[in-house]
Structure 1
Amino acid sequence: MAGESPDEGNKPKTDAEVVEVAEEASGAGTSGIEAGAAEPGGSGGPGGPGTSEVAHESASERTSEFVALKPVDVPALKPPRPVTPGPASGAPRTPEEPEPVPSTPDAEPPAAVPAPAPLPPLELLAELTNTPKPPETRTRTLTRRFKIWVPVLLLLALVFVIVQAVRPLPAPSLKLGADTSSYTFDGRFTLPWPAKGQGAVQVQGSGSLGTFGEQRPVPTASVAKVMTAYVILKGHPLKKDEAGPTIGVDEKAVREGQSKDESRIEGLTAGASFSQQDMLKMLMIPSGNNIARLLARWDTGTADESAFVAKMNEAARALGMKDTTYTDPSGLDAGTVSTAVDQLRLAEAVMRFDAFRPIVALPNATIKGLPQPINNNNDDLLLAGLSIKGIKTGSNTAAGGALMWAAYKTVDDRTPLLLGTLLDQRVDGPDPNGGNSLTLVKENSKKVVAAVRDALTSAVAVKKGQVAGYVDDGLGGRTPLVATQDLKPIGVPGQRLPLRVTEAGKPVPHSAGAGAVVAVLTVGTGPDAPKVPLALQRPLHKPSFWAKLTRLG
C-alpha cells in the first residue's frame, strides 16, 4: 500500500498486532457484508475497493474458526487464542492444538499418560448411550432377585417331582384292626391248684391257662429224663414204630442195675444189645437211671456222661429254659433243677417226636432180652379215663413229687393236646425216697387235668366276612381284609388269646383284585394255633401320584 515500504509489509507482526488485525477483519467482514446487502455497489459491497481481499480473508478466518469449535456449553467466554502459522506448511493452527515444544537434543520425552480403568458394563452402556445408570431401589432389587431365583426354584421343584415319582414303593404291610388284636372267651375259670409247690398248664395251640407258685429252680428228679430222650431223638431221629440202631450194654450199666437206692433196669448182661426204641422204653417207662447214663455214653462215645450233660444244657438254652440246669442225665443228682414253666417248654417240644408219644403213653411193655415186663410209674393216671398219655414222673427226697403230664380232649372236630407240670409236691411227715410225695403229685395233677377237660370249649373269635385287618401300602392307603371263614379257637372261659396277621406264603402285592387271599389270621400261639385265610374286601391299588409326591419317609 502507499506509504508502506516493502520491508514493513513483509515484517512479521507481533501477537498483539495479530489479535488486532483479526478483530478488525472480523468486524469489517461483518459490516461489509451487511453494507453490501443494504447498499449494492458501495464501498463495502461487491466491486468496492478492497472488497475481494477483505472478504476472502474474513471468509477464510471464519471457516477455520467454525470448523474447530464443538457444540458444547462454555461457562465463560475467553479471548480467542491467536492463530499462528504452522512450523512447516504455514497453515493456521487451531486453538485446540497445543503449541509445539521446541525439540532440543537434551529435551526429555513427555511422560506417558496412564490408560483409564475400564468402566463397569452399566456405566459403559450409560456412557455410550448418554443415559445415566438408574438409581438402586428396593423394587428393582426384589425384581432382580425374583428373576434369578424363580427359575432355580422351578428347576429344584421339577427334580423333586421326578425323584418322588421314580422312588421305589415301600413294601405293603399287614395290620390288625383296632378291635381284633385279641379274643377273650366269655365266662371265668379257676384251676384247682395245689396249696404248695409250683405248676403250669397250657392248651397246645391256644396258649397258657395259667401258673401258680413261685417259679424258682427246684430239683426235678426223674423228670430230667425227658431232656435225655429229647437230646437222643434230636441227634438220632426215629420214625413212628421205627426200632433204630442197636446199642450195646457195657459193664457199667450192668453194675449200676444192681443198685438198691435208685430206679434201674435189672437183669442186664454185658455185651447184650437193644434197639434205640427199646432203650427209650426202658428210660421212660420204669425210669431206668442206668439206661439214662448208658445212652449218654453211647451218644457221645465217651466213658462218662459229662459231654452229654453239656448237650442237655445247650438244648435247654435253645428252648428258652432260662431257669434250668442239668448236672446229670437221670435227675438223681439234686443239682439238676428247673421250673414248671421251663419244663412246659420241654414238654411241648418233645411231644412233637412221632417216636416219643407212643412210648410215654404205654402203661407197661415187654422187651425181648429182659427177664420181666416193665411197668409205668404213672399207670394209674394213664388208666384213669382222662385221656392222659404220659409223660414222666419223678420223686426223691430232694425233689419230693414231680410230674410232667399230657392229655387230650376232643372239642368239635379237633383234639388239642393239654400239657401240664407240677413240681415240689411234698407230704407232711416222713417220706423215704419221695414215694408218698409221688402219690400226692399224681392226685393233684388228676384234679387239674379233669378241671381243664371239663372247662374246655370253642367259640367264634372272628366271623366269616368280618373285617379283621387291612393292607397298609406305606403311603397312607389302607385296604380292608375280611375272613373267608369262621375262626374258632379252643380254650377255657376267661382265657385271652392273641390274634396276629401274617403273609399267605408270599409277600403282599402292590395291587390285586377284590377277593384275592393275601394274608392269614391266627388266634392263639404256636404252630398248632387255628388260622383262616384273609381276602381283600376291595381291589388293592398302587399308591396314587399325589401320595408318591407328598411322601416324606
Structure 2
Amino acid sequence: MLQKYDGRRVFTRGIAVKRSIWSFVLAGLLLVPPIDVASAQSSDPRTSKPVATRDMSFRVRAKAALILNMQSGEVLYRKNPMARLSVASITKLMTAVTLMNMNPDLSKRIQISRQDVYRANWTQLKYRERVGVNDLLYAALISSDNVAARVLARVSGLSNKEFVERMNQTAASLGLLNSRFTEPTGLDAGNVSTAVDCAALLWTALQNDVLSEVLTTKEFTYSTNRRVHNIKTTNRLLRGDQPDADLWESVGSKTGYIRKAGYCLVMRARSQSGDDVIAVVLGGISSRTRFADMRRLLNWSLHNIGQQEHIGG
C-alpha cells in the first residue's frame, strides 16, 4: 500500500512545504478582475483598489498566464489562471518533487532499459547506458529528456502505476487540487494543471536544494559508461547573451511542449533590487511567442513592482 501523506504538508529533503501559502493567492484571484492589457492600471488583490503602474502595451497570446509577486503575494497579472490545461513537460517538475520526497540515492547508477527508450520521442540516452540518478535529474529538467524522466520514476522502486499515484498524492498534499498526472514525462496530454498550480509546483521544487541547483543550471556535462553528454537548457531566455540581464535573472524554470498542450513555460525571476516573481505561460501558439510572452511579462512586472504606489491606501 502506498504511504498516505499528511494533508497539511509534505517534506522535500527535510523542508516542510505548507500548502496554506497558496491560500492567499487563490483568495486574491477571486478579488482581482481580469486585467485589461491596454489599461494603465492593475489591481491590488488585498483591497481590490487600483495600483498605479506603467502601461501594459502588449497582448499575451498564450491561453493562460499568471504573475505572482512572491514577497507580497499580489497577483500582478492573470489570464485564465484556473483553466485546466495540458502542461506537457512541466509534468517533470512533479516527477522530480515526488522522487526527492522519497530520499533517493543520488549517487546510484541505473541502466537504461528497452522500456525506458520505447517511444520516448526526445532523448539523448540510449539502451544499456548507465546513468547516475543525479545526472538523470539534470537531463530531465534541463534538456527535458523523456527517458531520464521515466528512469527517475523507476528509481523510486515503484511500478509506473504506483509512481503516478504517488505523484497525484503529492499534488493533493501540496494543495494542487486542479492538477492530475497520468505518467512522468509529460508526453501524455492527460497531464493537466493550471497556471496557479504550476506556479506552486515550481515554488515547491525550488525549496529543495538539489532541485534548486538543477533548475538554475544553463548547461551541464555528465558521463555514462558509453559517452559524455553535454546538455543545454530548453529555456531560450537563458541562452547566450541575455538582453534583460540588467533587469532580472532566472532562479528556476521549466519548459514544456506537446501538440495538444502548446508551448508552456514556468519561471521564477529576481531583479537586481531583490524583487521576486513567478510567471507562468501555458498554451502558447509557438515557441517564439511563448518566450516573447514570458520576457514581456517579466520585464513589465519587475519594472513596475518598485514603482507601484497604492491609490487610496
Q: Please give the range of the TM-score, normalised by the shorter of the 2 chains.
A: 0.7 to 0.9
Are residue 187 (structure 1) and residue 52 (structure 2) matched? yes
Q: Specify which of 49, 67, 71 is matched with residue 201 of structure 1.
A: 67
Aligned 8 A contact 1:185 1:493 in 2: no
Deviation at 1:390, TM superposition (A): 3.2
Query: For residues 260-299 of structure 1, what are the structure 2 equivalents within 5 Å?
Result: 262-267=121-126, 269-270=128-129, 272-274=130-132, 276-299=133-156
Q: For residues 367 and 318 of structure 1, do their structure 2 counterparts lie closer, same or farther at Cα, with a shift above 3 Å needed?
A: same
Q: Which amino acid aligns with 2:70?
A: Q
Aligned 8 A contact 2:123 2:145 in 1: yes
Per-residue CA deviation, residues 33-72 of structure 1 (Å, 9 max, x unaligned), is xxxxxxxxxxxxxxxxxxxxxxxxxxxxxxxxxxxxxxxx
Query: For residues 338-353 of structure 1, what are the structure 2 equivalents within 5 Å?
Result: 338-353=193-208
Match of 1:400 in 2: 262
Separation in structure 2 between the aligned mates of residue 233 and residue 193 of structure 1, nearest angstrom: 38
Deviation at 1:205, TM superposition (A): 2.1
Q: Specify which of 232, 236, 244 is matched with residue 103 of structure 2.
A: 236
Aligned 8 A contact 2:223 2:229 in 1: no
Q: Specify which of 207, 210, 233 is matched with residue 77 of structure 2.
A: 210
Q: Which amino acid aligns with 1:277?
A: N
Separation in structure 1 between the aligned mates of residue 280 and residue 256 of structure 2, nearest angstrom: 11
Aligned 8 A contact 1:201 1:211 in 2: yes
Per-residue CA deviation, residues 266-303 of structure 1 (Å, 9 max, x unaligned), is 24535x241x321210110111111111111111x14x
Q: Specify which of 270, 275, 279 is matched with residue 420 of structure 1.
A: 279
Deviation at 1:417, TM superposition (A): 2.7
Query: For residues 61-460 of structure 1, what are the structure 2 equivalents within 5 Å?
Result: 187-188=52-53, 191=56, 192-207=58-73, 208-213=75-80, 215-236=82-103, 244-252=106-114, 255-256=117-118, 259=119, 262-267=121-126, 269-270=128-129, 272-274=130-132, 276-299=133-156, 301-302=157-158, 304-369=159-224, 370-381=227-238, 383=240, 384=242, 385=245, 386-411=248-273, 415-426=274-285, 437-457=286-306
Aligned 8 A contact 2:117 2:126 in 1: no
Deviation at 1:357, TM superposition (A): 1.8
Look at both structures and tell me which one has the larger radius of gyration over its CA atoms: 1
Separation in structure 2 between the aligned mates of residue 198 and residue 339 of structure 1, nearest angstrom: 8
**Is the partner of 1:248 in helix, strand or coil?**
strand
What is the total number of aligned residue pairs between the two structures?
Answer: 258
Q: Which amino acid aligns with 2:281?
A: L
Q: Kindly report the root-mean-square deviation, in angstroms, between the aligned alpha carbons of the 2 structures.
A: 2.7
The 4+ residue runs of structure 1 with deviation greater than 6 A are 182-185
Q: For residues 212 and 235 of structure 1, do their structure 2 counterparts lie closer, same or farther at Cα, with a shift above 3 Å needed?
A: same
**Is the partner of 2:228 in helix, strand or coil?**
coil
| Percentage identity across paired residues of the two chains | 22
Q: For residues 439 and 196 of structure 1, do their structure 2 counterparts lie closer, same or farther at Cα, with a shift above 3 Å needed?
A: closer
**Is the partner of 1:356 in helix, strand or coil?**
helix
Aligned 8 A contact 1:254 1:269 in 2: no
Structure 2 residue runs without a partner (length 5+): 1-45
Q: Which amino acid aligns with 1:375?
A: K
Separation in structure 1 between the aligned mates of residue 122 and residue 309 of structure 2, nearest angstrom: 41
Task: Give the TM-score normalised by structure 2.
Answer: 0.74
Per-residue CA deviation, residues 416-455 of structure 1 (Å, 9 max, x unaligned), is 43111110111xxxxxxxxxx2232111101111111211
**Is the partner of 1:235 in helix, strand or coil?**
coil
Deviation at 1:195, TM superposition (A): 3.6
Aligned 8 A contact 1:326 1:335 in 2: yes
Structure 1 residue runs without a partner (length 5+): 1-181, 238-242, 427-436, 459-491, 498-553
Deviation at 1:203, TM superposition (A): 1.6
Per-residue CA deviation, residues 451-493 of structure 1 (Å, 9 max, x unaligned), is 11211217xxxxxxxxxxxxxxxxxxxxxxxxxxxxxxxxx45
Separation in structure 2 between the aligned mates of residue 288 and residue 297 of structure 1, nearest angstrom: 15
Q: Give the number of the structure with larger relative contact order, counting CA–CA contacts within 8 Å between residues 6 or more apart.
A: 2
Deviation at 1:193, TM superposition (A): 4.8
Separation in structure 2 between the aligned mates of residue 451 and residue 390 of structure 1, nearest angstrom: 19
Q: Which amino acid aligns with 2:181?
A: Y
Deviation at 1:392, TM superposition (A): 0.6
Per-residue CA deviation, residues 11-51 of structure 1 (Å, 9 max, x unaligned), is xxxxxxxxxxxxxxxxxxxxxxxxxxxxxxxxxxxxxxxxx
Q: Which amino acid aligns with 2:102?
A: G
Separation in structure 1 between the aligned mates of residue 201 and residue 311 of structure 2, nearest angstrom: 23
**Is the partner of 1:316 in helix, strand or coil?**
helix
**Is the partner of 2:122 in helix, strand or coil?**
coil
